[in-house]
Chains A and B, each alone.
Chain A
Amino acid sequence: MISELFSATVLIGIIASGIRLATPYLYAAIGETFGQRSGVLNLGVEGQMLLGAFAAFYVAFTTGNLWLGLLAAAVVGALMGLAMAFVSVTLHAEQGISGIGFYLFGLGVSDLLFQRMLGTVETVNGFQPIYIRGLSDLPVLGRILFSQNILVYGAFVLVPIAWFVLNKTTLGLKIRAVGENPQAADSLGVSVNRVRYFTVTLGGVLSGIAGASLSIALLNVFQQNLTSGLGFIAVALVYFGGWRPAGVLLGALLFSMVNSLQLWVQVLGIPVPSDIAVMMPYVLTIVALILTVQRVRSPSALSKPFQREG
């Protein structure tokens, strides 16, 4: 049975679903990267994802329009991001704890709305795989890379965009300056608060879309606690990726591949207790954190509220 795991079909299947599963991690973790590079640790990602997932699902389910659903997720995410920004930037609240508050809020409200407005687990026809003539017919790569849905492509396109914005634009320079030395940035006329509001709200939008990618593109259902810890793993991936988009991509892929492998192990009936298999990605996250924090340095002002001196 173990040998089945190494047959070409299965390997392609593992990689293809691994790439698909990386989608929500990528949106959420890239969004969180922007926030953390500017010095704000948003631990409410999981809550933002849950609300985004519900909003997307509910709108798509009632209107039948997936794009409207996606928009709803982005709007809800933006509102949650704004709230987080207000609390952490304007009110200087302890970010680790307020994030947990937003997580509980998102967890509760999404469940509450689900029970009141849907009642039972429904399904939608989510975003369908896009076949690209020629590319999708390629022998192996076709199935792995070019038979995915639009949100999967979007997630992978987001990585170079994020890299470009962070490293090659004035905005990116401001974000990094605010995260490394807010006092200096401030004295040069950069509005620390405005930059942080922007990044945290952007993070909210992307977390909302991450939730939508689960509820209307990958799983096509909504249920209580749909994300089950995925948002927290996304935050961990930012650390793992050393606060760089490429690193986040690597982490997300590694993580989703392990998850995919774990799912296939169960599908093939390989005698590993499923609970132990499900445990593996979390153990891996901890090991990955141990290995990476030794060699990278976090943004200096991470999770420190900014206050003008004097």
Chain B
Amino acid sequence: MEDRLPKAEVSALDTLRANASKIADALLPVLAVLAALAIGAIILLMLGANPVAAYGALLEGAFGSGNAVAETIVKATPLLLVGLGICIAFRGNVINIGGEGQMVVGALLATLVGLRLTSWPGWVVVPLAMLAGFVGGAIWGGIPGILKAYFRVNEILSTVMMNAIAVQAMNYLLRGPMIDPAQMELASRIPQTAALPEAFRLPRLAPTRLHLGAFIAVVLAVGVYILLWRTTLGYRIRAVGQNPDASRYGGIRVRHHVVVALLLSGAFAGLAGATQVFGVNYRMITDGSATGFTGSAGFNGIVAALFGQLHPIGAIPASFLFGALLVGANKLQRMMQVPSAFITSLNGLVVVFVVSSDIWRRQRQKRRLAAAQRAAEAAVADSGGPA
């Protein structure tokens, strides 16, 4: 023990190390995105596009003007809402791949409310419609939750299937029961609903398309933070996620909380769908796929949430970043003829790199734990051993 540093210095060193490793943790996703961009550059080169010019176009498209920034926020809004749900689910150790379907069902239910209550005032209908979106998504997320908790059906598979079912339900409803009566008269019969009354539109920051949904999403991000870390429900969801056996032993109803986690996760995606209809499109229209309506937000929200380290507040800048990629992609397509599928590929790489880099975070966590243990032992030794 002679060559050991004095206690104060040991703990100072450990604190320094702990802080440095925490910063490194926060930097990992950034490195993951840089790695994805680097591989993206190689793909661009292989396609015969200059990566510097391409990424320049991407940046300009996303941030080049006030309107571009507003568009970025518009694209970020559904990512954030879906991402908040993903934070809840993944913290509870349930994997929700059903964001696409949950968005669709939420949007359908919200639209139905909007189209049925046309004579009601907007301040009643809009909150009702948002609630309907929330409930619609909750149902679509809750079913896989019940299937997982009580029938042991893998939620990844069931949520994927629920996506496909939701798309077909949307196609059926928009081609039949919910079709715009005006379209019934036309030969074209575009599968879309009637437009919502103007009074039901979410307020916009004219002349941009930036709508109230973005504000709602940010407020809810704080709400989800409070839910997860300041309420018993959130504590239980996280406990079940970290150690279901210990939770069961501690008297937490594990199955119940699995259902709640997926249900809430779906609810936020459903709300994302509702805000898309009431804030951006003002009607529902289908091209036959889910992406046609969601813009893949159900998947990209997962990417954003992972990038934000499954923290609701971290999801805010993360959504902004991935919204920027989506808006920039349009410019990339127009200026350099690089299809926007490039962004889908990048997002895939980001997911792979973020989850892969987790190994270094876990290693550091282990080291931090060991350091804390050392410090505790040193303290015990100094005080003359355990009493």
Contacts and interface: CB of A to CB of B under 8 A. Distances in A.
B171 interface: yes
Interface string B155-179: 0111011111100110110011000
A96 B156 contact: yes
A107 B351 CA distance: 14
A253 B29 CA distance: 43
Contacts of B351: 97-98, 100-101, 104
Interface in A273-296: 273, 275-276, 278-279, 282-283, 285-286, 289-290, 293-294
A98 B355 contact: yes
A133 to B, nearest CB: 42
A156 interface: no
Interface string A92-129: 11101110111111111101100110000000000000
B161 A105 contact: no
Given A108-B347, A279-B165, A92 B306 contact: no
A58 to B, nearest CB: 14
Given A239-B157, A275-B169, A282-B165, A101 B349 contact: yes
Given A97-B95, A97-B355, A116-B339, A107 B348 contact: yes
Interface residues of B, number: 50
Interface of B is mostly: helix
A33 to B, nearest CB: 15
A273 B176 contact: yes
B360 to A, nearest CB: 9
B37 to A, nearest CB: 14
Nearest to B150: A290
A200 interface: no
Given A275-B171, A290-B153, A101 B352 contact: yes
Contact of B356 (A91, A107, A225, A283): A91
B348 A111 contact: no
A94 B345 contact: no
A282 B290 CA distance: 15
A115 B339 contact: yes
Interface residues of A, number: 46
Interface in A64-79: none
A102 B352 contact: yes
A105 B352 contact: yes
B5 interface: no
A94 B152 contact: no
Given A98-B356, A275-B168, A109 B153 contact: no
Contact of B341 (A47, A108, A273): A108
Interface of B: 43, 47, 95, 97, 147, 151-154, 156-158, 160-165, 168-169, 171-172, 175-176, 289, 299, 302-303, 306, 337-339, 341-353, 355-356, 358-359, 362
* 7 A-B pairs closest in CB distance: A101-B351, A105-B348, A108-B344, A108-B345, A104-B348, A111-B341, A101-B352
Interface of A: 43, 47, 83, 87, 91-94, 96-98, 100-109, 111-112, 115-116, 224-225, 229, 232-233, 235-236, 239, 273, 275-276, 278-279, 282-283, 285-286, 289-290, 293-294
